[in-house]
A and B are shown apart, each in its own frame.
Chain A
């Protein structure tokens, strides 16, 4: 059974601060997805990283896939209240037949 851990579980910061959240596993994955979920809504896909060491940027969000493809990080620069939400990682391994395992998420609150 693969273990998947997201940290921190909760994060409350002021507008303008930077932050990093982590997704770590004991298994190697072929790819990894990050989602954001706002209160009362379903998760929304932010990015998929595929190659070990890959870095992708989405405006103020920077996603990195670890060299060994066992971990990932999400860095937000100059956080804004609109970034508030639950950030979920979902690694995808070979032969999972379309199934994803979601981490428990990092709940981020950005205060004005």
Chain B
């Protein structure tokens, strides 16, 4: 299994508070991603990183920010949590690999279940 951990694994917070989720990898992969997973919506990309200090928005980035100051850590911050951000958040890592048609096979962390009350 790829070395990916997420912390915390569960969190309950109140509306309006800032929340930071951490993703840590030991694989030295270049790419890191944050997704949220909700019933009926599948996995949706929030932000991703293609290198240290290099990040870009995904399809549902409003209300979220990210930072990557070193290869192994990718932080997701909810600036002011809302109930609509209650979800399961997954971090993933990838590296382009020869023989895969330019695909970026992703390895996922165990997830963080966030509840905003």
Chain A interface: which size bin? 20 to 34
Q: Is the CB of B105 within 8 A of A42?
A: no
Give complex CA distance A27, B104 in Å: 18
Kindly list chain B residues whose C-beta atoms are within 8 Å of the C-beta of A102: 35, 42-44
Residues in A whose Cβ lies below 8 Å from that of B40: 104
Q: Residue of A at shortest CB range from B32?
A: A98
Q: Tell me whether B103 and A45 are in contact (CB under 8 A).
A: no
**Could you tell me the distance in whole angstroms from the C-beta of B68 to the nearest C-beta in chain A?**
13
Contact of A43 among B31, B43, B100 (CB under 8 A): B43
CA distance A11 to B21 in the complex (A): 34
B106 near A100 with CB under 8 A, answer: yes
* Interface size class of chain B, counting residues whose CB lies under 8 Å from the partner chain: 20 to 34
Residues in A25-56 with C-beta less than 8 Å from chain B: 30-33, 35, 40-45, 48, 50-51
Q: If the complex has contacts A43-B43, A88-B42, are A33 and B108 also in contact, measured as CB distance less than 8 A?
A: no
- B117 interface contact, C-beta 8 A: no
Known: A42-B109, A44-B108, A98-B31. A33 touches B58 (CB 8 A): no
CB distance A99 to B45 under 8 Å?
yes
Instruction: Using A35-B106, A43-B43, A100-B106 as known contacts, list a sample of 15 further A-B pairs with CB atoms less than 8 Å apart, ordered by residue number in A.
Output: A40-B111, A42-B90, A42-B109, A48-B100, A48-B103, A50-B99, A50-B100, A88-B42, A92-B101, A94-B102, A97-B56, A100-B104, A101-B45, A104-B42, A105-B42
